[in-house]
Amino acid sequence: MADPTPNRTPISRRDLLKSAGAAGAAALIPGGVTAEPAVVPAERAAVVPTGPLMNLTAQETEILGAMVDRLIPSDDMGPGALEAGAVRFIDRALSEAESDSVDTYRTGIAALDRYSRYSRGAPFVELSERDKDSVLIDVQLGAATGAEVGFVGSSGSFFNMVKSHTWQGTFGDPMYGGNINFIGWDILGYPGVRMRVSDEDQRDMEAGQLPPARRSAYEYGQFQMTGGEE
């Protein structure tokens, strides 16, 4: 089936971040996901899971990775959600706080691929960036229907769940397994957690010259988790 909206242009990351209210995203801490010391690469490099992961097969990982990559793509602004480790964050969350969403993810990923084949004539991972964005717009709007595609409820519900988890994995505290090498915080220009801000720090921050504090909140003693407490 031909693309019913041939004039759609790829989604820009600036528009996506604006629509998500990303200014507050750095504060996201998903309840129930265990904070652990993160191993942060010395240099930024694409972290593209190939699967299988803990909860997703290799094929599911590939499709989800392609979706996540279009939600916050790498571009001239820098790395995106894949490089930030959002897919591995999601897979880990499906073993912890989001364990009741495993089947929803599997069903939704399969339905996304079926809809892509039905409406665009090819698997989702093989589509051009333009067509991937077009498919995801349909999914977001709840318009991904037909040929028993298989979304449980509205396709928009699946889209919003994945988008929310992608934002958490990209912009949340790196202790939760995403935001590798503080990529998400750098995208936002977030200066990092500070327990004290001097007058000079405030002036530098307002001038856009404050060096980022590349530290997890859990590196500060008052935020450390002990004895299994969250």
The structure tokens listed for 112 are: 């996304």
Q: Is the pLDDT of residue 188 over 80?
A: yes
> Is residue 212 very low, low, confident or very high in pLDDT (cuts 50, 70, 90)?
confident
**What is the C-alpha separation between 136 and 156, in angstroms, rounded?**
9
Provide the sign of the torsion angle of the four alpha carbons 169, 173, 174, 176, taken in this order.
Answer: negative
Give this prediction's pTM. 0.73
pLDDT in tens, 24-81: 443 343 444 454 444 434 344 445 566 677 889 999 999 999 999 999 998 887 899 9
Contact 30, 172 (CB under 8 A): yes
pLDDT in tens, 122-158: 999 999 999 999 999 999 999 998 768 888 888 999 9
